[in-house]
Structure 1
Amino acid sequence: MSNPTSSLRILATTDLHMNITGFNYATNTTGPRSTTPSLAGLAPQIAKARAEAEADDRLCLLVDNGDFLQGTPLADWLSISHHQNTHPLALVFNALRYDAIGLGNHDLDYRIDYLSKFAAQLTAPLICTNLTGTGMSNLLSAHIMTRELKTSGGTQDIKIGILSVLPPETVIWNVEELPEGAQIDDPVTCITQNAKHLREQGADLVIVLAHMGLGEQDDQTSIGDWGATALAQLACVDVIVAGHTHYRHPSDWPAARSLDPSVPVIMPGSSASHLGVLDLELKQQSSGQWRVENHVASLRSQINGGEPKILSLTAPAHQAACAYLKESIGHTPERLHSYFALLRPSKIMALTARAKAIAVQQAIQGTDVEHLPILATATARSLRGSDSASNFIDIPAGPILRRHLAGIVPFTNKVCALILSSDKLREWLEQSASAYGPQSRGPRHQPLLNPEVPMFVFDAIFGLSYVFDLSKPVGERVSDLRYDGLPIANKQRFILATNHFRAAGGGGYNKMTLPAPVTKCTTTITEALEIALHSDTCLEWMDYSPWRLKRIGTTATFDTGPAAHSCFGEIATFAPKVLKKTGFGLDRIEIEL
């Protein structure tokens, strides 16, 4: 008699970032319900996938892989408003009947007591295996669920163990939010040990919710950007749900090519862009335990508008947050937009950098480093992405509202400062330049940006001047690096005002060896902007252009919002021309480079 067989479907979301409704709080608009990603829009896909599994007598689980609690102005408002009712996302998770939820680094941004209160409102377990310390009530290190499995030989129980891990860098990124003495254990070691414990407790399968990305590294290093690849090499793990980097798998993304195709791995994008679907074929061993024999991984995007029930659960908090975001907090004498922010320095990035510099200048007064010149970064994360025409920032001259700042600063990163030499500044800028695609003389219509590098990798450093030569390989693109009009001297030292996430190597800067910050990270960038808007020196860098692209005798293309045409005068030297509309409603622009 052959061993019994069965099947299991795992549905997964990751990096939701509180995108429940698809409402754009920065522009105070709602995108087309059929195409704007949201958890409410994904809900019908979840129901459809469950119904398919039920029709096939297939056990179905729904899990989330972290970074759910932070990422929209609604999330930020909830964290400061002393909201007394059940958190709207907890209501939604419960309504969608999640079976298990893993933790992401951004879920710690509002401190552990806020997270613990949220966890107490969930019907599903909230799990993090490699975070240890005190004050972490309502957070489990591991979980075993027992479910009924319909098999070829009848019905029996299966035990499924769930583990969840954070990037090790979280202990640096969230040092101010974590309780004193908290530790983030090495994910590979932690999973190896805890998977063994789960097996000893009778777990047939071990699913790891790994809030880390997939990379080309073939060793077992486990930092945030590619740690899930290392975990996928462990024989003790049956299934990996990856995330953190906002990429998708399965895909043709080169960094995922090092994965063993026999290992079930899924990475369903971000902001509810996709539902991950893993279908596992199981076979019971002679020992009685179940093992994965085969699998199929796929991604599904939403099929229609938002589920009304889900939208109604968030309505009261949504309306209150919108009222708060209408408050005026400053004034701009001119239009601020992000349409050409990687083509030429934008005034939005100048304002953000100036706000950081002001905050750091105040923080170092009276210290032994106050004599050092202050530079400041502004990241293209401020662009909020480029896959939708509504994602670009466009603030008219006049009042600056709270919702405008929400568009400029989508995360609760804090201002901090590093002391860097000229060599490190050049290395920083070379990493930034990796956001551009390779350009060569002659060929036309070459994409300006590198599709394999997220836009938030790009940092402008204000206070310097420099040139990017995109005909050169990454690592050799930065030239004519100057401070105050003069070439930077070897080993000359500067204070760089940046954010604590970047200072810890976040967003692709983990290969750099960076010193510890010289200022404590307490002021958020949003708070720094509010303070700067009332400063006499706020607009000092608005007309300052720290960098330019070297002309190499070719043409390149990039996508931008359709309203950008009214600003073409700002980039007249590039001779911009609209080539066509993209599938996302953007204008594809040709420029002379």
Structure 2
Amino acid sequence: MRLFPSLLLAGLLAAMPLAAVERSFTILHSNDWQSRLLGFGPNNEYSPATTNDDDTVGGIARLATLLNERRAAAGEEPLLLLDGGDFTMGTLFHTVAREMGSELRLMSELGYDAAVIGNHEFDFRPAGLAAMISAAHRAKGEALVPLLSSNMRFDPGNKADDSLQAHADAGRILPYKLIERGGIRFGLFGLLGNNAVAVSPMIKPVTFADPVATARETVAKLREEGAEVVILLSHMGVTQQADGSWRGEEVELVEQVPGVDIVVGGHSHVALPQPVLVGGRTPVVQAGSEIQYLGELRMSLGDDGVPRVRDYRLHAVNDSIIGDATITAKVEDFKQVVSERMLTPKGYRFDQPLAKVDQSLGRDFTDQTLANLVTDA
């Protein structure tokens, strides 16, 4: 019998295994905004409408422009925008957060897919955080950024956390969230770490369950519900050891909880230039603090179901970036509210210098000039 060449070729192709199809996705991430909407540096020097004329870094209007650029670069590739917590507390903007919900409103405006609740969100107590969420929800409605907290527990015998629990009951605070994007099913959950809880006395009567036990339980639920990629939004932190390696609660949790594919971290204010690979597989990333950087983690997902790091970059947010005009206008509106409610009645202006010094005022946990200035005042 004579076989035609085309039939032979078809038979050979049918017998060959199909090539593996890799799917790619991108995660953009920030953490520890600390209400730093105008950038890091003197407020009266921040100039988002122009470039290369001030030394300030960060600024949410510049971040907005950078986000638009990175989304465009990703093209049709699935992309998530996530935050590692502590979006509030640290500048004059937090003084009106309960009335305005400014940080959450801006996070929603920028299109964040989720953020974990950090310890500084409780600095005005649970009722204060509830007020922030209420104010932001009044302004943004269903477009409000989802807040994640898997290990937060409410006290049924204490009314002081009832207003916050009401937001959880309404689905504005979630233990976990599933997002399907570009054919990939992502499972997100959020944890507040033991150290973060320990340094936050205003959290009570809210308590937080053990992160490791909660993670095991939540990862299992996410897998049962079809999550292909499990992402932990963690406000737990990492610390560098004397030998240059990285440890901390985020690393230790991944070592104890199989099934966490990616950790978007916060709390320790570390700008990791490259992911910390735990077990040679799971990347832990963190983008410094105060919107000085935007992290970009590019991943691939093979047919073996294992996500792998393709590329990672920390994008500097600085005066080389023109700020988004719409976001700048919104920040100016919030500045006006701060001035009217907090400053003008006391005879001050938002951008008014109160003092000038000829040396840097450090602010770490050592004997510093800033600490001496405050304590001696």
Aligned counterpart for 1:228 among listed residues 246, 250, 259: 250
Indicate how the Cα distance of structure 1 residues 328 and 173 shifts in structure 2: closer, same or farther if over 3 A, else same: farther
Contact 2:71/2:79 (CA < 8 Å) preserved in 1? yes
Instruction: Give 1:145's aligned residue.
Output: 179
Instruction: Give 2:329's aligned residue.
Output: 312
Higher helix share: 2
Q: Structure 2-normalised TM-score?
A: 0.75
Instruction: Give 2:364's aligned residue.
Output: 456
Indicate how the Cα distance of structure 1 residues 47 and 340 shifts in structure 2: closer, same or farther if over 3 A, else same: closer
Secondary structure, counterpart of 2:25 in structure 1: strand
Indicate how the Cα distance of structure 1 residues 264 and 338 shifts in structure 2: closer, same or farther if over 3 A, else same: same
The alpha-carbon deviation at position 261 of structure 1 amounts to: 5.0
The alpha-carbon deviation at position 9 of structure 1 amounts to: 0.2
Distance (whole Å) between structure 1 residues aligned to residue 108 and residue 316 of structure 2: 21
The alpha-carbon deviation at position 231 of structure 1 amounts to: 2.7
Distance (whole Å) between structure 2 residues aligned to residue 339 and residue 195 of structure 1: 52
The alpha-carbon deviation at position 58 of structure 1 amounts to: 1.0
Contact 1:266/1:297 (CA < 8 Å) preserved in 2? no
Contact 1:214/1:227 (CA < 8 Å) preserved in 2? yes
**Structure with the larger RCO, 1 or 2 (CA within 8 Å, 6+ apart):** 2
Distance (whole Å) between structure 2 residues aligned to residue 308 and residue 32 of structure 1: 12
Instruction: Give 2:312's aligned residue.
Output: 297
Contact 2:38/2:46 (CA < 8 Å) preserved in 1? no
Deviations 1:231-271 (A, max 9, x none): 343431100112212111125xxxx8785553222211111
Deviations 1:268-295 (A, max 9, x none): 111110110000011134xxxx430343
The alpha-carbon deviation at position 117 of structure 1 amounts to: 3.8
Unaligned runs of 5+ in 2: 1-17, 138-142, 156-161, 349-353
Q: How is 1:6-45 mapped onto 2 (pairs within 5 angstroms)?
A: 6-22=23-39, 29-33=44-48, 34=51, 35-45=56-66
State yes or no: 1:325 paired with 2:343: yes
Superposed CA RMSD in Å reads: 3.1
Q: How many residues align?
A: 318
Q: How is 1:508-547 mapped onto 2 (pairs within 5 angstroms)?
A: none
Instruction: Give 1:425's aligned residue.
Output: none
Aligned counterpart for 2:270 among listed residues 234, 247, 255: 247
Distance (whole Å) between structure 2 residues aligned to residue 278 and residue 126 of structure 1: 21
Indicate how the Cα distance of structure 1 residues 78 and 295 shifts in structure 2: closer, same or farther if over 3 A, else same: same
State yes or no: 1:94 paired with 2:108: yes
Indicate how the Cα distance of structure 1 residues 214 and 7 shifts in structure 2: closer, same or farther if over 3 A, else same: same
Distance (whole Å) between structure 2 residues aligned to residue 23 and residue 301 of structure 1: 12
Q: How is 1:38-437 mapped onto 2 (pairs within 5 angstroms)?
A: 38-54=59-75, 57-79=76-98, 83=99, 87-120=101-134, 121=137, 123-134=144-155, 135=162, 136=165, 137=167, 138-149=172-183, 158-175=184-201, 177-180=202-205, 182-216=206-240, 226-233=248-255, 234-250=257-273, 259-285=278-304, 290-302=305-317, 303-323=320-340, 324-325=342-343, 327=346, 383=361, 385=362
Distance (whole Å) between structure 1 residues aligned to residue 277 and residue 110 of structure 2: 34
Q: Which AA in structure 2 matches 1:178?
A: I
Contact 2:149/2:173 (CA < 8 Å) preserved in 1? yes
Indicate how the Cα distance of structure 1 residues 88 and 58 shifts in structure 2: closer, same or farther if over 3 A, else same: same
Deviations 1:487-519 (A, max 9, x none): xxxxxxxxxxx9xxxxxxxxxxxxxxxxxxxxx
Q: Structure 1-normalised TM-score?
A: 0.49
Instruction: Give 1:535's aligned residue.
Output: none
Contact 2:26/2:298 (CA < 8 Å) preserved in 1? yes
Indicate how the Cα distance of structure 1 residues 301 and 239 shifts in structure 2: closer, same or farther if over 3 A, else same: same
Indicate how the Cα distance of structure 1 residues 339 and 212 shifts in structure 2: closer, same or farther if over 3 A, else same: farther
The alpha-carbon deviation at position 69 of structure 1 amounts to: 1.8
Higher strand share: 1
Indicate how the Cα distance of structure 1 residues 217 and 132 shifts in structure 2: closer, same or farther if over 3 A, else same: farther
The alpha-carbon deviation at position 23 of structure 1 amounts to: 7.8
Secondary structure, counterpart of 1:270 in structure 2: coil
Contact 2:77/2:182 (CA < 8 Å) preserved in 1? no
Q: Which AA in structure 2 matches 1:97?
A: G
Larger Rg: 1
Distance (whole Å) between structure 1 residues aligned to residue 38 and residue 355 of structure 2: 27
Distance (whole Å) between structure 2 residues aligned to residue 284 and residue 30 of structure 1: 51
Deviations 1:183-221 (A, max 9, x none): 222222221221111111111111011112222479xxx
Secondary structure, counterpart of 2:302 in structure 1: strand
The alpha-carbon deviation at position 328 of structure 1 amounts to: 5.7
Indicate how the Cα distance of structure 1 residues 301 and 261 shifts in structure 2: closer, same or farther if over 3 A, else same: farther
Q: Percent sequence identity over matched residues?
A: 25
